[in-house]
Structures are given as structure tokens and as C-alpha cells.
Structure 1
């Protein structure tokens, strides 16, 4: 897409920022998991750490794709956000409820931004089209 595509889909920028922040948080969690791996459960700590680092990297790449209005980024963005909704639900209760709300709101915000008509057009070339050409 051309630079004007991203200007016609301003909602892609906040979606990209949220994906980037989610990716950064997942990456940091993965690194901390690797550093804090307990000797009695090394496989769990190492695999969790590596998986979270990879997931964080994926979200950063997807965020960059959304920022640049790349069509390939829409599918992974939608899939990751839909997967995060039940994860957010699992954190409801006690001292982690704030995290559940934050993660759910971020996921919903990305989904809404990606499915807006202008965003759909910028990412896929289909839908309502650019403003003034309906």
C-alpha cells in the first residue's frame, strides 16, 4: 500500500501501537521467565520463556505491519487478539483483575481498529474504499 493508504486509515496506528506494547510486554515476560526459571522445573520455565519471547516478537512484527498497512498483518493481528481474550478472562479475580481488564480492552481496541471500514480497505483493498470514492 502507498503511504496515503495509512493516512486514510488512521485507526491502524493505535492498533499498531497496542500490538507493539503487547509484544514488548510478552517479550519482557519471556526474558524474566528464562531468568527466574526454577531448578526443579527447568523445562516449564525454558519453554514458557522461549514461547513468550517468540510471541512478543510476532506481535512486534504484526504491529509494524499494521503501521505500514500491510495486508498480511491483518490475519495475525485478529488471531492474536482473539486468542488473548480468553487469556484475559483467566486473570479475572483477586489481584490480577486489573491485568485482565487491561488485556481485554487492548485486544478489543485492536480488533475494532482493524475491522473499521477504512482499515479494511487499507489492508485488503476491498470494502468501502477510500473516502470520496463510494
Structure 2
């Protein structure tokens, strides 16, 4: 193992990489808490128990994706950027759907859209990709 892999704390973590990690952590928490809320409501008898249990469990499991990505980003693992970017991209159509409603979900849509866009900007930043050891396409050709 290299010294980078054995070290628990990296020498340099760019601010945007830290912010991307934070966005992933918050998204993971939101999915897990939302999933547990739906699951508990379903088990308490609100709505169809089978459907709400399935949706609740699905949200909890989906919360693992940004959670694992956040852990990888924090530990400067190159592979972690892929799941983190996919999570941000998946958040955009969900945010759009929430924004098109005529209800209390609009603020959630705004927050999700802002988080997803901020996460993408931070994850695709040149300093972030260099810190994670990802070369830009123009660098790969040379």
C-alpha cells in the first residue's frame, strides 16, 4: 500500500471537495431520514403498508449511495466521484418534479436543485479532480 492509502488524514483537501462531501452527507441523511419516516408511517397504518414499506426501505437503501460516495470523497478515493456525480444528476429530475407541484414540496425542490447543482460544480472542479487523481481528457492525450 502507498503512503496515501495508509494515511487517515490527507495533506490537502480542497474546499470544493469538502463541500461536495458535505452535500453527499446531507443527501444521504435526507434519504435515510425520509425513508425511515415513510417506513414508520406505513407500519403505523397510514396508507397501504406494503407500498409504504417498500418505498421507505428503498429510500433508506438509496441513502447508502451518497453516503458511501461521501466516505470515499473524504478519504480521497478516485472511484467515489462517479457515484457522487450520479447522485447529483439523479437529484435534478426529482427537484424538477418537486418544483412543478403546487404544494409544500416546492421549497424541497429548490433545496434539492441547489444542492445538486452545487455538488456537481464542486465535483467537476479541476482542483477536485486533480486531488482525486482524475486526469482531464486533454491531459490524457498528452
Same fold (TM over 0.5): yes
Q: Which residue of 1 aligns with 2:28?
A: 23
* Gap runs ≥5 in structure 2: 5-9
Provide the TM-score with structure 2 as the length reference. Answer: 0.81
Q: 2:103 aligns with which of 81, 94, 103?
A: 94
The RMSD of aligned alpha carbons is 2.0
Q: Which runs of 4+ in 1 moved over 4 A?
A: none
2:74 is aligned, of 58, 67, 70, to: 67
8 Å contact from structure 1 (residues 88, 99) kept in 2:
yes
Higher relative contact order (CA 8 A, sep 6+): 1
Measure the CA separation in 1 of the matches of 2:24 and 2:91. Answer: 11
Q: Deviations over 1:65-113 (max 9, x none)?
A: 1122111111111111101101001111432211111000000111000
TM-score (norm 1): 0.85
Change (3 A) 1:95 1:123: same
Count of residue correspondences? 127
**Is the 8 Å Cα contact of residues 65 and 87 (structure 2) preserved in structure 1?**
no
Gaps of 5+ in 1: 130-134
